Amino acid sequence: MAHASEKRTQLRGLYVYQRLPMETACKKVGVPRSTANRWKQEAADKGDDWDSVRAAMALGDDNFASLSKKLLEDYLVQHQATMDLLREAKDMGPMQRAETLASMSDSFNKTMASFKRLSPELNKQAIQLDVLQRLVSFAQAKFPQHLTAMVELLEPFGEELAKVK
């Protein structure tokens, strides 16, 4: 049974943290896809949703953060350009100008709200994972003699964190 537990932990790590496709992770660990699906479902039944943690990892990923910032920046540039055009438009009446401003305001509010509320649960998990990663980096730098024990604790603790809603 310990062998299966070790493989399950390896599979979860490959799928969640390295974000490998499930099929690839199964091949690396040497388990059938049906076994992986069962393990994943059993974990979900116990509150450890591998897909949520995997998505949270993506949220914490620098590439995702960069993409989000770029999208927001692009939106704000377009918003400002439209405001400039509106300011320069001489053929617009006050009602048309007011309607355009109201529409832009609504768009701006919705866009900002979506960036703030991308997914509170995933954002919470991304923060948890970031703290764990920072703890590991700190331990590597300051207490390398404790890394073995830390690794032994962090994987099951990560699973416990994933259960917290």
First to last CA, the chain: 29
Q: Is 47 helix (H, G, I), strand (E, B) or coil?
A: coil
Q: What is the rounded CA–CA span in Å between residue 133 and residue 51?
A: 19
What percent of the chain is modeled with pLDDT above 90?
A: 22
> Count of residues for the chain?
165
Q: Is 48:163 a contact under the CB 8 Å cutoff?
A: yes
Same domain (yes/no): 113, 71? yes
Per-residue model confidence as pLDDT tens digits over 12-40: 999 988 889 999 999 999 999 999 999 99
94 falls within a domain: yes
Position 120 scores a pLDDT of 55
* Of the listed ranges 4-18, 101-115, 139-153, the one predicted with least confidence: 101-115
The whole domain housing 129 covers: 121-163
Per-residue model confidence as pLDDT tens digits over 85-134: 888 888 988 889 888 888 888 888 787 777 665 655 556 666 777 788 78
Whole-angstrom CA distances from 73 to 34, 69, 111 are: 43, 6, 11
Same domain (yes/no): 65, 113? yes
Same domain (yes/no): 111, 64? yes
9 falls within a domain: yes
52 falls within a domain: no
Rg for the chain, CA atoms, rounded: 23
Q: Which of 152, 163, 164 is nearest to 6 (CA)?
A: 152
